[in-house]
Amino acid sequence: MKFYLQVYGCQMNVYEAGIIRQILNRAGIEETENESAADVLLMITCSVRKHAEMRALGRLRMFSAQKKNDPKKIIGVLGCMAQRLGEELISEHDVDLVVGPDNYSVIPELIKKLQNGDAPGTVLSLTGECYSDIYPVAQNHATATVIAMRGCSNFCSYCIVPYVKGPERSRPLKNILLEIKQLIDKGIKEITLLGQNILAYKNDGIDFVALLRSVSEINGLKRVRFLTSHPKDLNEKVLAAIRSLPHLCPQLHLPLQSGSNRILELMNRHYTREEYLDKVTMARDLIPDLSLTTDIIVGFPTETEEDFNATLDVVAKVKFDFAYMFKFSPRPGTKAADFTPPVPPAEASRRLSELIKIQNQITLDSNRAMIGKEYELLIEAKSPRGKGSLGRTRHGKVVILDEPFTPGNLVNVMITEIRGWTPVGKIIRR
């Protein structure tokens, strides 16, 4: 029996796809890249914005078309959108199995039941699952992600995550360390610890800083990063750990969401623009080469031109190295879905384009500022065009090299130019 798996969504989903692969492999079901050869067509999905769900529904129509030709095929929707839409996916979209983020372990059994003639069904209990002792197959040759905590209990008013992933809970330290050691044995050099709200990590008396300390002591590991930090939980202890522990990379992903205090309050973010800016100053004072990335939402209900300008003002002050920027997308069931008045879509689009234009220039300037400086690169892949390779600096910037290097190698380069958006490096010593 063979399965095909389409992955949508965040890094967490990419990681969880590895868990699903492991669960299916253990049950003797093999992966295929060829949809028409697959007995089971699966997709792991995202619900964070409507656009993400529309894409998945589009792909689902292609799965259904395959099933018309071969009615024995089983179609499964997994992850956040499965959790959010449930039964509706069966009644309206021809899906056979609908499995929420906490229930992946039951997939093989459900497949067997469906093949024995059982009716389509959903498994959607939020059980607090952590998949603690399932170790996904390594995703690539140099870097890997490892889940440290799952779920979120913050309830930002726009966000569907707490509803589809359940409350936050942390994975035991011993499983995290074991997984990282296994990855290092396979040649992985860099680990990104994942969690919707990673700074809230807490398991059996071990807090986030203690976790960082243990991870940074693992032999053979060269770089450690983590995602995502909520500004309200960022403190001096965490920053001091980044600065002092070996292998911790000078990088923080610190979602701003809005620069207007009124909107931040409506978003239930638990910080003000002043507190955010103070934390950025504290972080940059402690870690001078810190790279800062962020997420920003424009067009949140009631957002005025003044609120939007307050966001642009923070963007201009902080000068993020990179930002993910979104138009507000109402998610049914969240508080903000009922906030009024909404910002007219054309106005929200205008604000988004303006923000993107400003941030793009800042990103380009921050890349240009690398010219003439030396960096250590971890080679991650071949460059998509040409014979060269792609590497990443410790502060998280991708650099093009015109020479081929094997993924996993560490090399030192000098940045000589910017090609399109991307810095280009020349080797200075091997």
| CA separation for the pair 125, 197 (Å, rounded) | 22
21: closest CA among 35, 36, 3? 3
- Helices 173-185, 208-216: axis angle to 10 degrees equals 30
Contact between 159 and ligand SF4 per CB under 6 A:
yes
Residues 152-191 that bind ligand 5AD (CB under 6 A): 158-159
When the beta carbons of 128 and 404 are compared against ligand SF4, the nearer one is: 128
CA dihedral 73, 74, 75, 76 (to 10 degrees): -160
CA distances from 20 to 144, 182, 389 (A): 16, 18, 30
- CB 325, min distance to ligand 5AD, A: 8
Contact between 52 and ligand SF4 per CB under 6 A:
no
Q: Which two tokens stand for residue 400?
A: 């093009």
- CB 161, min distance to ligand SF4, A: 4
Contact between 293 and ligand 5AD per CB under 6 A:
no
When the beta carbons of 41 and 156 are compared against ligand SF4, the nearer one is: 156
How many CB atoms lie under 10 A from the CB of residue 176? 24
Sheet architecture: strand order including 143-147: 143-147, 190-194, 223-227
Contact between 343 and ligand SF4 per CB under 6 A:
no
**At a CB cut-off of 8 Å and minimum separation 6, what does 206 contact?**
173, 214
Residue 248 binds what, of ligand SF4, ligand 5AD, none (CB under 5 to 8 Å, by partner type)? none
**At a CB cut-off of 8 Å and minimum separation 6, what does 85 contact?**
53, 77, 98
Residues 80-119 that bind ligand 5AD (CB under 6 A): none
Member of 161, 173, 211, 283 binding ligand SF4 (CB under 6 A): 161
Q: Which stretch binds ligand 5AD (CB under 6 A): 32-40, 124-132, 169-177, 322-330?
A: 322-330
Member of 103, 175, 192, 197 binding ligand SF4 (CB under 6 A): 197
Contact between 329 and ligand 5AD per CB under 6 A:
yes
Contact between 156 and ligand SF4 per CB under 6 A:
yes
Catalog residues that contact ligand SF4 under the rule CB under 6 A.
Answer: 152, 154-156, 159, 161-162, 196-197, 230
